[in-house]
Amino acid sequence: MDDPKSGKKPQKLKARLPRGLADRGPAEIAATREMVEKIRVVFERYGFEPLETPAIEYTDALGKFLPDQDRPNEGVFSFQDDDEQWLSLRYDLTAPLARYVAENFQHLALPYRSYRYGWVFRNEKPGPGRFRQFMQFDADTVGAPTMAADAEMCMLAADTMEALGIPRGAYVVKVNNRKILDGLLEAIGLGGEEDAGRRLTVLRAIDKFDRLGTEGVKQLLGEGRKDESGDFTKGAGLVDREIERVLALLRPVYGHEQKRDDVNRPYDDMEWIPVPGLEGIRFIDNFGTLVYLSQTGLGETGVNGIEQLREIAALCDQSGYGSKRIKIDPSIVRGLEYYTGPVFEIELLIHSQDEKGRHIRFGSVGGGGRYDGLVSRFMGQSVPATGFSMGVSRLQAALATLDKIGGKRAAGPVVVTVLDNDRIADYQRLVSRLRNAKLRPDDPSSPNISAELYLGNPKNSLGAQLKYAEKRNSPCVIIQGSDEREKGQVQIKDLIIGAEIRQIVDRDKYLRAQKQSQKLVSERSLLQMVRKVFALHRIAPYHSAPVAVNKPPAKKAQKPNRSGEAKKSRRARPSGKMRKGSTTKKHSSR
């Protein structure tokens, strides 16, 4: 507390945002809303139902990131309740689902198919593109032991990407099986617990294959690798024979040069690429990859993983999903420890550049897999499950960079201005009429018009109120002075046209556009004319889909004279000393 007798001024609290977190404005929120809605439609088309779980769970229920120490604060954000129970913010949406299913197992229809979306939290070191809070959208099937459920997750992932506007060929769903990786590690003698550290190093090296290529992974499997900055990463210490066995697993397998007689195969949906040393192009053949993997000596565990992938590939193939969309890729590892079988990862194949011209590779924007042991931790019995998670925050950032989504605010509310503070009730009545009206009266599902009364400083001029409406991204404002009120009229000013005409130099065009931007209508025509503004610019209200409305305020062009030259004198502007009796001449030129 500051001592008032000391004469010292109290120190201001510094406004600052914690590292790894971000504030979000209307444009980002609108883009997220649009994305979430598109994802929801696809997930419900597949028969998944919504579920919400709290952001806080008992720490032991999360079952991950729990170090051997008194305070479980590595990886998750944790705190103690008043009964000395440890609680944590969820780090994903899967562990809370496992708890929910176990707690409500007797009341659920199995297989239980649900989707969830929300914020998750990681107590990790933040960095470029790495946040401590981000949004995920998950779909899971609990109680389905067959690979049909996993195949469906892959198809769901592909359909979701295309629903978000990402064209076929610009993404791929990569599929692997943890059992294949386990079989590989056993084959090179790293199957025991005493080699857990080296196993993890090998898996991390494999996971970097797409980025570093054969030579980079070879170094990480051996003594280590020095990157471009000079930093050295210690390797797994494998000998040449073991390294070659790992790399052999990662080689692509190509199909035939021409389409075959099997008309049931989706050849048009295959990934066709040129092959070094061969003429023509070949397609990536998932079944050819599996045949090749079966010849690499992965042992019983690996063979079982291959058979599971074969079933997934067959189901996807027969449903029309070829290797262009869903591809077997033995380099996919996935990080979470609870995966027990097939794993999937969605990769964006589109590349871009930042403002400095540097190459941007988006990489993975989602993934998932089978986790047959997660629910059983609570129940003591096997409960098979598989799921898929879309990284909404990461994908949104990628889509914004590619101008596929967001970057534009949704239309703000219609603003009713206040010219007479003694008539607030009359202005509020106009606002209520707008709010209670459908944007499209012949469409029962249409949203209502969004509207607000100007509630700022009562002394603010009309000009200040118009500037406020522009900052709110309002498509139009409603103006009514005492003259208009006595005649039962209102003025509707189109702010979108108003922003555009500032750039017009030709006087005749300017006057025509100015006349179109502001209209005097009867109060009975208010709703009809506001709807016309929305229809003219093809915009949706703030609480609907995001669409661009007002452009950023541009440098104002001077009003042209009759010869088409800009006047040197300042153009008339609304005055704060406007008479209550008339508004028309005072604000019509703005």
| Nearest-angstrom CA–CA distance, 253 and 11 | 67
CATH superfamily of 42-61+89-188+254-401: Bira Bifunctional Protein; Domain 2 (3.30.930.10)
- Predicted confidence at residue 580, as pLDDT, reads 44
Fold match between 42-61+89-188+254-401 and 414-587? no
Provide the token pair at 324: 């262009």
| Nearest-angstrom CA–CA distance, 313 and 373 | 24
**3-state secondary structure at position 339:** coil
CB 138 within 8 A of CB 97: yes
Residue 422 is given by DSSP the state G
Let me know how long the chain is: 590
Q: Which residues of the chain fall short of a pLDDT of 70?
A: 1-7, 64-74, 129, 252-264, 275-280, 336, 352-360, 406-409, 540-590
Q: Report residue 562: phi and psi, to 5°.
A: -65, -25
Q: Report residue 452: phi and psi, to 5°.
A: -145, 155
Convert 213-232 to b/e letters by CB count within 10 Å (16 or more is b).
Answer: eeebbbbbbbeebeeeeeee
**Is the C-alpha dihedral spanning 237, 240, 244, 247 positive or negative?**
positive
Give the class (CATH, top level) of 414-587. Answer: alpha beta
CA–CA–CA angle 351, 355, 359 (5° rounding): 30
Q: Where are the domains of the chain?
A: 42-61+89-188+254-401, 190-237, 414-587
Residue 93 CB burial class (10 angstroms; 0-12, 13-18, ≥19): buried
Radius of gyration over alpha carbons of the chain, in Å?
A: 31
How many Cβ atoms sit within 10 Å of the Cβ of residue 286? 27
- Predicted confidence at residue 275, as pLDDT, reads 66
Provide the token pair at 116: 């969830």
* Strands of 42-102, DSSP E: 49-50, 56-58, 78-80, 86-89
**Is the C-alpha dihedral spanning 178, 205, 396, 338 positive or negative?**
positive
- Predicted confidence at residue 171, as pLDDT, reads 93
- Predicted confidence at residue 255, as pLDDT, reads 57
What is this structure's pTM? 0.78
Q: What strands, in cross-sheet order, belong to the sheet with 476-479? A: 451-453, 414-416, 476-479, 489-494, 518-522
β-pair type (49-50, 326-328): unpaired
Helix (H) or strand (E) run with residue 177 in it: strand 171-177
Residue 570 makes CB contacts below 8 A (sequence gap 6+) with: none
| Nearest-angstrom CA–CA distance, 205 and 249 | 13
β-pair type (86-89, 78-80): antiparallel
Residue 179 is given by DSSP the state H
What crossing angle do the helices spanning 196-207 and 178-187 adopt, rounded to 10°? 120
